[in-house]
Structure 1
Amino acid sequence: MASQTQGIQQLLAAEKKAAEKVAEARKRKARRLKQAKDEATEEIEKFRQERERAFKEFEAKHMGSREGVAAKIDADIRVKLADMDRAIQTRKDPFILEILQYVYNISPEVHKNYNHK
């Protein structure tokens, strides 16, 4: 009976050892997964930064800076407004005179569809 108890004790000890090894293996696997996830996150962040830098270079090369584009648009608008002002100034007097001619030279007429009975 003592050998049976001793055999059971050995089996329990072996089972405990196996459970510890399985638990340790699970911990190692979890650490490896976490490490792989961290490395992947770091690599993704590096890739994102590289692509963002490349985009900014492309944008600066082809479009200039946003401030530069805004300044160019403002300058274009100012030029167009100045052109419009010049056109108004050169055509204003003749236009006003023409309008006044229409106002002063009214010739009242009866409409052709008017039937006076």
Structure 2
Amino acid sequence: IYFKDAARSIDMIYQASKEQIKTVNYNVAGVVPTRSAGEIEQVVKKYIPGAQISYKPDTEAMNYFRTSTVDVFDDSRAREEWSWYAMYPNLDKVVVDFVEEIRSRPERYGIV
């Protein structure tokens, strides 16, 4: 889930009336299904041609994900009870917004 969607979900549940809240815990989903680092890299390079991206996967984490399945988070209760939906439901929207976020506030991200 994109950080802006996560923050928005907190505000949405805070703003919901008591009558709307019927569940104790909620899931909120963002980009579905979960994307790999390679897929994210492809989308970033679509918007920033020539981007140099490197990553060093954690061996233990990679072994875990090789042997497990990633389930889609069921956010139907949040959708039904307080009208949740992701404003950034796909990688293109996430990357476009985050590129703009970084370009408009480089100091926030340690880019001077």
TM-score (norm 1): 0.17
Higher CA-based Rg: 1
Q: Which has the higher contact order (CA 8 A, sep 6+)?
A: 2
TM-score (norm 2): 0.17
